[in-house]
Amino acid sequence: MIEVRNLSKTFGSFSALKDVSLSIEPGELVALLGPSGSGKTTLLRIIAGLECPDAGEVAFEGTSATNLAVRDRQVGFVFQHFALFRHMTVADNISFGLRVRERALRPSKAEIRERVEHLLSMVQLKGLESRYPSQLSGGQRQRVALARALAVEPRVLLLDEPFGALDAQVRKDLRRWLRHLHDDLGITSVFVTHDQEEAMEVADRVVVMDHGRIEQVGSPRDIYDHPVSPFVYRFLGNVNGFPCRSNGGRIHVVGTEMIAPDFAGHGERDVTAFIRPHDFDIEAGSEQANATLRHAVVLGPQVRIEVNLADGQIVEAELARDVFDRLSLHPRQKIRVVPRRAQIFLDDGTQARAQPTGNGSG
């Protein structure tokens, strides 16, 4: 288990971490997700021992590691830009951490060779051990970097934007491969990413960070379905925001009356309704048209459309390709946009899900 307790870290006048606490269970694969400057990489580097906190501590299996040197923490670290030795072969890069150990702790040459062969097979690079990094693709180089981190048999694997330097298709293939590899090894792993899809696809739990604090921790499904703040809602996928007022237990969003959450009370309250693009119904040929189709992009089985509401606001919606074709939608067409559900937030961050009233209109 990794325990992070009340960590704080500043760089000059910039507060990178502000009293951060987190527990990571043995065998978990956890994603630290957030925008640039959120503190995710600083947190990872403190866990690794590459940075020292100003306050707080890090513990492995209940034992404080705050003052341990990097080499004594038994962590494997994978960087975004591979950091391979260009003058070394693949085999030499993988075995480097073993060969530089103190003589008393260094495995024999035969043991090192056997471990390298095993890792080459594990990361699907068997037969490439004599090549140099310049002779490999970006995805292959990142696998070499991962094998090198695993060669020293770390108790914790840390990855800092491991696929950030790769193109989209290679990223997708490698993150699926990493998930399978983690399931096979069961090693406690923490990786940093700003890619929401990457975190949601790979991680057991996601830690959403912003401005040096943890906003929310949970399974990918939990944080997507139940975001605790407007920041988390906006950060995890596309969303439309509608400032509106709760009055008498009702709100009106895009011409649809919805039941306001109980916390809004029965007086007048300013709230914001957040609606995901896939939470709209689209109707064509309706006498109650409230929008104009502006643009449509076909994305395989889905179609993403932009519409102008009557008040000028631009809204993004998604619908199935067969529905789009059946409605024969085209630019400048008058349509009706109807929200099925909305997430309501007050200014203090209180939130709940709102549903339409019986007739679905107002």
pLDDT over 60 at 281, yes or no: yes
- 3-class DSSP assignment, residue 51: coil
**Whether the Cβ atoms of residue 7 and residue 43 lie closer than 8 Å to each other:** yes
- The answer to whether the Cα torsion of 188, 227, 193, 51 is positive or negative is negative
Q: Pick the residue with more confidence: 114 or 102?
A: 114
Q: For the chain, which domains are there?
A: 2-234 (3.40.50.300), 239-354 (2.40.50.100)
Which residue from 52, 82, 76 is spatially nearest to 65, judged by alpha carbons? 52
Q: How many residues make up the chain in this entry? A: 362
pLDDT, position 300 = 92
Rounded-to-integer distance, Cα 214 and Cα 318, Å: 30
**Whether the Cβ atoms of residue 176 and residue 96 lie closer than 8 Å to each other:** no
- The answer to whether the Cα torsion of 275, 32, 84, 179 is positive or negative is negative
Question: How sure is the predictor about 349, in pLDDT bands with cuts at 50, 70 and 90?
Answer: low
Residue 248: phi and psi, rounded to 5, are 65, 30
pLDDT over 60 at 360, yes or no: no
Residue 122's H or E segment, with its range, is helix 109-122
**161-214 per-position pLDDT tens digit:** 887 767 777 778 888 888 888 888 889 999 999 989 889 999 999 999 999 999
What is the secondary structure of 56-102 as a DSSP string? EEEEETTEE-TT--GGGTTEEEE-TT----TTS-HHHHHHHHHHTS-
Structure tokens at 94: 């993988």
∠140-173-236 over CA atoms, to 5°?
125
Q: How far apart are the first and last CA of the chain?
A: 53
pLDDT over 70 at 285, yes or no: yes
Mean pLDDT for the chain overall: 88
**Whether the Cβ atoms of residue 340 and residue 356 lie closer than 8 Å to each other:** yes
Instruction: Match 């990223």 to its residue by tokens.
Output: 171
Structure tokens at 255: 């011409």
**288-336 per-position pLDDT tens digit:** 899 999 999 999 999 999 999 988 899 999 999 999 999 999 999 999 9
Structure tokens at 200: 């949601």
pLDDT, position 316 = 96
**Whether the Cβ atoms of residue 335 and residue 346 lie closer than 8 Å to each other:** no
- 3-class DSSP assignment, residue 294: strand
**55-108 per-position pLDDT tens digit:** 999 999 989 998 888 888 889 888 877 788 999 999 999 999 888 888 888 889
- The answer to whether the Cα torsion of 210, 211, 212, 213 is positive or negative is negative
pLDDT over 80 at 359, yes or no: no
By CB atoms closer than 10 A (0-12, 13-18, 19+), residue 37 is middle
**Whether the Cβ atoms of residue 354 and residue 258 lie closer than 8 Å to each other:** yes
pLDDT over 90 at 5, yes or no: yes
**120-167 per-position pLDDT tens digit:** 988 888 999 999 999 998 889 888 988 898 888 888 999 998 877 677
Which residue from 149, 182, 162 is spatially nearest to 77, judged by alpha carbons? 149
Rounded-to-integer distance, Cα 273 and Cα 255, Å: 13
pLDDT, position 347 = 64
Rounded-to-integer distance, Cα 179 and Cα 189, Å: 10
